[in-house]
């Protein structure tokens, strides 16, 4: 992709989301595949969509696969229901789903701590028909404070993400300001200051936001960035987003964190979906 041969790529720290890339492989083979492609860091959605509390052997097997591959786990989602699929999160959904989220909090924190992971992402839940949105928001704040405390215990940050309205019409956080408002509420309620914004440039572009303005305004509250091109949610260069310029703006605005590659590889093996990024730029420094 034009622009990524410059210092833009060399000055970023990229990781690969193993829940959207390398999914043609079994979960336990993906960390090694990312390493073979030249990456030294990975992130994950919660891998067990049907279970917030998997068997210890399953957790140990994933931990071993990550360690054996020699990659770092730099980001992990809390239980979020069926992803990919109709769900968008669990923590604000009354009943069984929020109970599953609570049961998952310490499991995630302990697993993340065992691998030195310092960023935990908690997705809001969809609006539920017949339930007052204010009730869902109160439940969300209560659960997010619990998650923030668990993250703080292991020296991690809690990420709050905005999705996009066309693909997630029932998800309430579909703008950067909406997510930032929740970040501020969690920090105030928890008194810890470890809640941060997850700036996903694909989702924000789908919402029609002014990305340079979002970067300029919200980098100080941003804990993680994710990218995919738009339209299509493919690799940089497959759509029309000026991602090289946007990453350069992030760097100049003071962002020094990870940039997660959270895009679809298209009709090819995932290992072939990184031509835009020089191999020398894939290993975190």
User: Active-site residue numbers?
Assistant: 161, 262
Q: Find the Cα–Cα–Cα–Cα dihedral 226, 231, 236, 237, rounded to 10°.
A: -170
Distance in angstroms between the alpha carbons of the first and the last residue of the chain: 22
Question: How remote is the C-alpha of 25 from its chain's centroid?
Answer: 20
In whole angstroms, give the CA distance from residue 235 to residue 232: 9
Q: Find the Cα–Cα–Cα–Cα dihedral 200, 122, 89, 30, rounded to 10°.
A: 70
C-alpha count within 13 angstroms, C-beta hemisphere, residue 258: 29
Selection from 84, 79, 184 nearest residue 122 by Cα = 79
Residue whose structure tokens are 């909090």: 105
Alpha helices in the chain (DSSP H): 7-10, 30-36, 56-69, 96-114, 133-153, 176-190, 201-206, 211-218, 243-252
Selection from 245, 241, 212 nearest residue 229 by Cα = 241
Residues 6 or more apart from 277 whose CB is under 8 A from it?
1, 4, 9, 14, 236
In whole angstroms, give the CA distance from residue 21 to residue 100: 26
């Amino acid at each position: 992709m034009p622009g990524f041969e410059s210092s833009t790529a060399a000055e970023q720290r990229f990781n690969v989301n193993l829940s959207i890339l390398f999914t043609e492989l079994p979960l336990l083979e993906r960390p090694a595949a990312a390493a073979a492609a030249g990456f030294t860091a990975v992130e994950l959605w919660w891998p067990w969509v049907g279970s917030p509390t998997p068997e210890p052997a399953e957790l140990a097997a994933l931990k071993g696969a990550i360690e054996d591959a020699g990659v770092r786990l730099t980001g992990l989602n809390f239980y979020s229901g069926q992803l990919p699929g109709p769900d968008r999160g669990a923590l604000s959904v009354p009943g069984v789903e929020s109970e599953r989220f609570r049961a998952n909090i310490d499991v995630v924190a302990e697993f993340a701590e065992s691998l030195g992971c310092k960023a935990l992402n908690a997705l809001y839940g969809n609006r539920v028909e017949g339930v007052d949105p204010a009730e869902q928001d109160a439940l969300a704040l209560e659960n997010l404070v619990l998650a923030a405390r668990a993250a703080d215990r292991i020296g991690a940050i809690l990420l709050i993400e905005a999705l996009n309205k066309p693909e997630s019409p029932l998800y309430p956080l579909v703008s950067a300001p909406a997510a930032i408002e929740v970040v501020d509420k969690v920090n105030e309620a928890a008194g810890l200051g470890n809640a941060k914004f997850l700036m996903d440039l694909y989702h924000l572009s789908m919402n029609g936001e002014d990305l340079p303005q979002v970067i300029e305004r919200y980098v100080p509250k941003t804990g993680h960035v994710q990218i995919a091109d738009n339209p299509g949610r493919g690799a940089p260069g497959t759509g029309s987003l000026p991602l090289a310029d946007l990453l350069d703006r992030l760097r100049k605005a003071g962002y020094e964190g990870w940039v997660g590659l959270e895009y679809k590889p298209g009709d090819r093996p995932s290992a072939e979906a990184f031509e835009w990024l020089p191999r020398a730029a894939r290993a975190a420094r």
